[in-house]
Chain A
């Protein structure tokens, strides 16, 4: 994907930044979180709904609950975890987000 030969590119002011390493970690994090995003909505809420509906959460069939409530809670958690993990990656690569 990248034709860039050097491992590092000069930072905008001063220290060198390993942009390639940074981007690789960001992509890995993004794909992992998108997998969860897919599983709770398209997975639990749609594709495996009938199977999950056999289990009850309180008084609601589980698949139905994921489709109407559960997936939304997970979406919120995913974004805040992303913010947390990105800050950690950015600290590691000395990038100021």
Chain B
């Protein structure tokens, strides 16, 4: 694993170099990179910010297991960018401040609304960041032989340097570097696997091609192979259509409401750049997201083809000698990569029928045999270079790619957490007279504090049960509590303070209780028949979002219209270049040029 150390060391040194180069000199630099980031650069940074350790390592494997059911992640985590570009990003940029609670607090002329938004932003971001930090710890402990906690400390140290020194400016340019690392690590093995399996070097085309040298499509062959072993067909799901609809919607609206994604669009110079930048972000995201289903399908087929019915070679023995001996007896040995990854416990074999042969079987296996092979979701990506028989230096790159994905997302979340404390709580709520200089000092301190809090949450993540439910909690809450008030704040002038607070609380409380009940509480083992309208905890955010919009509108209509200043502000942010300061809306903080 020498190449792993080489790549991780090289990439980490690059991140620190960038941090030293991109230091923040003002709060404007620290929170929004001086509003000076080029839209293509911001698009790339957004893509890295967005794609987490889970997107990079786990998603392809998850799709491989879920088949069609995995589509909710593919559509959900890309479709939200259309909503961002059309409905939120350019208008929030024209609004011209630093954070999401800035918008909520000023648009709804209320520090209570600001505080509720801060609570939502903090909860969503902490849930999300704990997973990233524990991902860093796992990467270090599994692949670099470093203790889990030490791994997290190393990760904390790196993020500390560029987030605390450089703020958003440092984070932006390291994210660009991290994007390059992760997309290279992801696509190179995918190209070679596609070539190997289908003869087409473009994975997206290989995905819809025939198996190399055969007259059957890759997907059809995969489906046939799966059904013959007792698995469900690849292009089906056991979820109801309505549930698939709700989960996809919750992930889309949640994506659009996630603070760490939204604030990336504050860093560009103009509203038109915000639109364009959302397009570029999705291009860079799509480069990974359209390859992921291909990698998933290829790996599922490949694993079955190369592992099923082979004779087990245990790790720790001389693989080459063992394999040669088995081949001399006329039997096929298990592939080398399986033996190598067994040490990391990401793959496992339990010889239930004692025949020494590895059987992969589904729940309805026609021959009645039990499944003996376990494969972790991350294997689809991590072992892809070895399955494609690529040189060792590519193998080493995968861990650096996973770390880049985890660290870039962690850094974006850190900016939300630290600005929520130094800007939204200190400067905008409790110490309104604070100078720019002392706010910058507090911002650095808050970033440092947030790094440590995130690290400790990573260390204790196995005890913090909600951390494992990021998909449900973070996206559900962002969709139900943040998205509606931002949307209505732009598109409905009549929306007022009372409606906003009612809407956010309607979004926050039922979503939280529902997810908690069915994911962690008494209803943990309940089946779909007990779910409200048959909607899973992952999809409930969408249902509650509809409710939250209705409640917000009804309450707003029943109470007083917002002051004229606010209505004028809403008219201004709709038209690029027309933003003027408006009395109470901008009393606490002037909008950017």
Q: Which residues in A have their C-beta under 8 angstroms from that of B210?
A: 59
Q: A41 to B283, alpha carbons, bound, how many Å?
A: 17
Is there an interface contact between B217 and A46, defined as CB atoms closer than 8 Å?
no
Q: What is the CB-to-nearest-CB distance from B77 to chain A, in angstroms, rounded to a whole number? A: 10
- Interface size grouping (class) on chain A: 35 or more
Interface string of A46-66 (1 = CB under 8 A from B): 110100010011111100110
Q: Mark A17-59, 1 if CB is under 8 A from B, else 0.
A: 1010011001000100110010001100111010001001111
Q: Are A19 and B244 in contact (CB under 8 A)?
A: no
Q: Is the interface of B mostly helix, strand, loop or mixed?
A: helix
Interface status of B37 (Cβ within 8 A of chain A): no
Contact (A2, B493) CB under 8 Å given A61-B235, A72-B286, A79-B85: yes
A12 neighbours in B (Cβ, 8 Å):
577-580
Question: Which residues of A (68-83) have their CB < 8 Å from a CB of B?
Answer: 68-69, 71-73, 75-76, 78-80, 82-83
Q: Which residues on the A side are within 8 Å of B90 (C-beta)?
A: 97
Query: Would A37 and B79 count as touching, CB distance under 8 A?
Result: yes
A60 to chain B, nearest CB (A): 4
Please give the distance in Å from B90's CB to the nearest CB on chain A: 8
Q: Is the beta-carbon distance between A75 and B82 smaller than 8 angstroms?
A: yes
Closest to B39 in A: A83
Q: How far is the CB of A30 from chain B (nearest CB, A)?
A: 5
**CB < 8 Å: which of A71, A79, A82 contacts B75?**
A71
Q: In the docked arrangement, what's the CA distance between A17 and B415, Å? A: 37
A95:B576 contact, CB within 8 angstroms: yes
CA gap between A93 and B204 in the complex, in Å: 41
**Which residues from A are CB-within-8-Å of B270?**
97
Interface string of B186-223 (1 = CB under 8 A from A): 00000000000000000011011110000011111000
**A72 near B289: Cβ-Cβ < 8 Å:** yes
Report chain A residues within 8 Å CB of B248. 41-42, 45-46
Known: A9-B571, A41-B75, A59-B218. A75 touches B282 (CB 8 A): yes
A81 smallest CB distance to B (angstroms): 9
Contacts of A53 in B (CB 8 A): 235
Asked whether B208 lies within 8 Å of A76 as measured between CB atoms, the reply is no
B208 nearest CB neighbor, chain A only: A58
| Contact residues, B224-280 vs A (CB, 8 A) | 235, 241, 244-245, 248-249, 252, 270-272, 275-276, 278-279
Say if the beta carbon of B166 comes within 8 Å of chain A: no
Chain A residue nearest to B223 (CB atoms) is A61
Contacts of B217 in A (CB 8 A): 56, 58-60
- When C-beta atoms are compared, the residue in chain B nearest to A71 turns out to be B75
Is the CB–CB distance between B575 and A23 below 8 Å? Answer: yes
B340 CB–A CB distance under 8 Å: no
Residues of the B chain whose Cβ atoms lie less than 8 Å from the Cβ of A5: none
Asked if B272 contacts A64 (CB within 8 A), the reply is: no
Scan B570-588; emit 1 where CB is below 8 A from any A CB, else 0: 0100111111100000000
Q: Shortest CB–CB separation between residue A29 and chain B, in angstroms?
A: 8
B86 and A64 contacting across the interface, CB-CB below 8 Å: no
- The residue of chain A having its C-beta at the shortest distance from the C-beta of B80 within the complex is A75
CB-CB contacts of B277-310 with A at 8 A, as 1s and 0s? Answer: 0110011001001100100000000000000000
CA distance A2 to B567 in the complex (A): 9
Smallest CB separation, A56 vs chain B (Å): 8
How far, in angstroms, from A82 to B249 measured CA to CA in the complex? Answer: 21
| A2–chain B nearest beta-carbon distance, Å | 7
Instruction: Name the one of B204, B216, B241, B272 contacting A90, with C-beta atoms under 8 angstroms.
Output: B272
Contacts of B577 in A (CB 8 A): 12, 95-97
Q: Are B245 and A46 in contact (CB under 8 A)?
A: yes
Give A8 to B204 CA distance when docked, in angstroms. 50
In angstroms, how far is the closest chain A Cβ from the Cβ of B275?
A: 5
| Distance in angstroms between the alpha carbons of A90 and B205 in the assembled complex | 38
Say if the beta carbon of B148 comes within 8 Å of chain A: no
Q: How far is the CA of A83 from the CA of B279 in the complex (A)?
A: 8
Does B208 lie within 8 Å of A17, measured CB to CB?
A: no
Tell whether B422 is near chain A: CB-to-CB under 8 Å. Answer: no
Q: Which residue of B lies closest to A27 (CB)?
A: B491
**Which among A46, A67, A68, A73 has the highest number of chain B CB atoms within 10 Å?**
A68
Judge whether B86 and A33 touch: CB under 8 Å. yes
Ranked nearest first, the 10 interchain pairs of A and B with the lowest CB-CB distance are A59-B217, A97-B272, A58-B208, A67-B71, A79-B279, A68-B293, A97-B576, A60-B208, A79-B85, A64-B235
* Contacts A69-B293, A73-B286, A76-B279 supplied; 11 other A-B pairs, CB < 8 Å: A19-B574, A45-B248, A46-B71, A59-B209, A69-B204, A75-B286, A76-B286, A79-B81, A83-B85, A90-B576, A95-B578
What are 21 A-B pairs with beta-carbon distances under 8 A?
A: A3-B567, A9-B571, A19-B574, A19-B578, A47-B245, A59-B210, A59-B217, A64-B219, A67-B75, A68-B293, A73-B286, A75-B82, A76-B279, A76-B283, A79-B86, A79-B278, A82-B86, A87-B272, A90-B576, A97-B271, A97-B275
